[in-house]
Amino acid sequence: MGEKWLLKVHGLLPPAVLTQEDEVKIALLNIERCATDLDKYIYLMDLLARNERLFYRVVMDNVEMILPIIYTPTVGLACQNFGLLFRHPQYVNQIKLQAAMQH
């Protein structure tokens, strides 16, 4: 029997661990597959929500390519379409949210 079976973690762990460099390459391939800059923005915001370290590594390693997507002009288009793009709350202050709900 394998170690995963003995520890009862079979299926709970990934089959392999990728380096951050490999994850950056995969992220860049996914960005290239996006048809529009708005699609790239959506992908990057989802990446930020899932893996903040990877998001910032992708940005820092590819500033010239990524900055126009996460800043002007694409972020302006994202703001105009916010109602259609909203995925999940981010950086919500729970105390302020609870206070607002009480009123």
Q: What is the CATH number of the domain that holds 64?
A: 1.20.1370.30
Residue 28 identity = L
Q: What's the pLDDT at 8?
A: 83
16 in a structural domain: no
Q: Is residue 2 part of a domain?
A: no
Domains in the chain, number: 1
**66 Cβ neighbours under 8 A, 6+ residues apart:** 31, 44, 58, 59
- Write down the pLDDT at residue 99: 62
Above 60 in pLDDT, residue 95? Answer: no
Is residue 4 domain-resident?
no
For residue range 26-58, what is the model confidence (pLDDT) as tens digits?
999 999 999 999 899 889 989 998 999 999 999
Q: How do residues 1-28 score in pLDDT, each as one tens digit?
A: 578 788 888 777 777 889 999 999 999 9
The DSSP element (H or E) to which 38 belongs, if any, is helix 37-50
Range of the domain at 45: 22-102
